[in-house]
Amino acid sequence: MLTKAALRTTEMMRQAHARLRRGQLPVDLLDASIGRSWQRCLDHGLSPGRVPELPRLSGSELRDRRDSHRRLIALAEPLLKRVAEDLRGCQLLLAGPDATVLKSYGKRFVLDERLDIAPGIILDERWFGTNAPALAVIERAPVLVKSSEHLMFPENPVSCVAAPLLDVSGDCLGLIDLTFDAGHPRPEIFLRRVQQLTGALEQQLFRDHYQQRWVLQVHASLAELDGVACGLVAINEAGLILAVDPQAAQWLGRDATGLIGGHIESLLGRSWTELRRQCETNSALLGLELTGGQLVGRLNPPEAWRPATLDGEVGGGSGNRMPIKSSRPRRPVLESLVASWPQILAREARRASQALAAGLPVLLQGDTGTGKEQLARALHTSIDEKAPFVALNCAALPESLIEAELFGYGEGAFTGARKGGYDGRLVQANGGTLLLDEIGDMPLALQARLLRVLQERVVTPLGDHREVPIECRVIAASHRDLEARVEVGDFREDLFYRLAGVVVELPALNQQQPLTETIRHRWEVLCRGHGRDLPLAESLCERLAAYDWPGNWRELEHCLEAALVGAEPELDALTLDALSPRWQRKLTGGAPSEALAIRSSGTAGGPQELRELQQAHMQRTLEACDGNYTAAARALGVSRSTLYRRLGR
């Protein structure tokens, strides 16, 4: 709409009305939306200077109309009242989706005796001609109608802007109009203001609708992350994207319809289980490498959400299931976790628990996927499971965000800061445990400040002079060799010794021998979680134990769980045949399983039979995932488009 603002001058409109009086529609002199409106008005038999009697609701009709729009009024009125106090000399209108004025705030404009713009008046284009409320409904977009652009009022003393208010389904709930003196030199300011109003209300509608879901905020700037320009993405507990608002689609550089139904992991490239655990019961800031640049995100948990885990859970594949009720007494989480570990490693984990309880910090070292975060949670739970457990992934945030997220900030610390400020992770962990995940990626400048906080046990939020005392247990974790980073100067030596009270080195999965016992233990835990009683064939267990497992626990967990959910009900035991072709290739060094090879060589249509077996396995997995193609594709290790194609959907 603003692309032609430079042409919408008084002289230009004088020429437009002169040509209209000569019977010509001056489309070339008008903004595109105004030209379309003038054409419709002329088709309705309207003309400049002829003002018919405008329809207006009676008192009882207006009460009924307001009653039918209770939700709209309750949502918008508090904000409109505050804005009207700020914009003295302007009139704010709240109208229904048919451009009937429901409420008026601020100054009241009366164009003449018959044109009192007040509640109850119907600003339909068929009677009132070109006007912002009617045009916003028709165009479904914010519009500016300058004074003489009102077709029937060439000498109109006011201009107006309006924008529709759309709900999460894209339906128009109503609209907001802002009317002001026509002589204002910059009417575009009011257009932006009404866009901000509707944007804020649409965000509130989105949050209210998805208050029991995860909501991801995205923006290019931390300062604007809580503003009306941020985008919102709703996500269910399984990590599937439920809704994407227009701002989020713009920031993500993707069409909203193409994102809905997909998995958040494919968008963010990170484990959904880890993201949820990082969030805990508080919002978590994220650094997002998207659309070729760096975005900022904040993941907000559902209302009254609490993380749920299974006894003995190690990998991320089971993180979105609720605990299974059992009549058996529950084993302590730490003991369940280390039950299948080598004796020396289990002893070190118990030593770390005792040290943490005594106030010593614990440092966990190990490759990605070796279970550092799971051990950290188990250590915390072994001491006080009711105390807060707060995790901060230092590698997930850009340098500009870590300080605000870790130490918090005061109100007004920077443009866009939350009203009332933000406590920060250290304060949130007070009385509990703070996990500094991937501490090896923390910038050197922040390492110095963290060291002071750990020594003095006092936090000073950004932009604030208050000193907040804290008392929390500290667990640090990193896949990097911190001692090696100290030697090359990338990590502070004094901070390393402050964090390394007890160091637990988690070996890669293929270094934990005998691995067969570990695999059997994990399989039993998964079977209990899914309510299955399916033995694991000894030959398959040996093949699994011989595999290298570059993804460590995560890869093992995904392999076992995908096999379990895709297993046929009549199976007596899980064998190599029951795995997906992808895992058969991995476990046999690139060749298909022996059983499949025999079948394909013993029949004329061998390749065809192999395809049928693959298709049947995919169908079983899809049924086990309740028809969820995204979850089934992830379990099978293929793309969703491949799954659609193979099943002929």
CATH class of 588-649: mainly alpha
Spatial separation of the C-alpha atoms in residues 199 and 224, rounded to whole Å: 13
Q: How confident is the model at residue 119 (pLDDT cuts 50, 70, 90)?
A: very high
pLDDT tens readout for residues 236-284: 888 889 889 988 888 888 888 788 888 888 888 778 887 877 776 566 7
With a cut of 50, say whether residue 401 has pLDDT above it.
Answer: yes
**7-198 and 210-300: same fold?**
yes
Q: Indicate the fold that domain 334-507 takes in CATH.
A: Rossmann fold (3.40.50)
How does 484-510 read in b/e, with b if 16+ C-beta sit within 10 Å?
ebbeeeebbeebbebbbbbbbebbbbe
Lowest mean pLDDT among 24-38, 266-280, 344-358: 266-280
pLDDT of 5 reads 40
Spatial separation of the C-alpha atoms in residues 481 and 577, rounded to whole Å: 40
Task: Count Cβ atoms below 10 Å from residue 67 Cβ, excluding itself.
Answer: 9
Query: Residue 191 in contact with residue 173, Cβ under 8 Å?
Result: no
Query: Residue 625 in contact with residue 635, Cβ under 8 Å?
Result: yes
Task: Count Cβ atoms below 10 Å from residue 448 Cβ, excluding itself.
Answer: 12
pTM of the predicted model as reported, rounded to 2 decimal places: 0.51
φ/ψ (deg, to 5) at 390? -120, 125
Residue 561: CA count within 13 A, CB half-sphere: 27
Higher pLDDT, 398 or 622: 622
Report the percentage of the chain scoring pLDDT > 70.
Answer: 81
pLDDT of 144 reads 94
Task: Count Cβ atoms below 10 Å from residue 457 Cβ, excluding itself.
Answer: 13
pLDDT tens readout for residues 169-214: 788 899 999 999 988 888 888 998 999 899 889 988 898 888 888 8
Token pair for 342: 């080598």
Strand partners, 502: 362
Mean pLDDT, rounded, for 36-40: 93
Mean pLDDT, rounded, for 574-579: 87
Query: Residue 392 in contact with residue 435, Cβ under 8 Å?
Result: yes
Q: Which of 324, 319, 211 is nearest to 275 (CA)?
A: 319
Task: Enumerate the domain spans of the chain.
Answer: 7-198, 210-300, 334-507, 588-649
pLDDT of 411 reads 73
CATH (one of 3.40.1700, 1.10.1070, 3.30.450, 1.10.12) for 210-300: 3.30.450
Mean pLDDT, rounded, for 101-129: 84
Task: Count Cβ atoms below 10 Å from residue 146 Cβ, excluding itself.
Answer: 22
CATH code for the structural domain at 7-198? 3.30.450.40
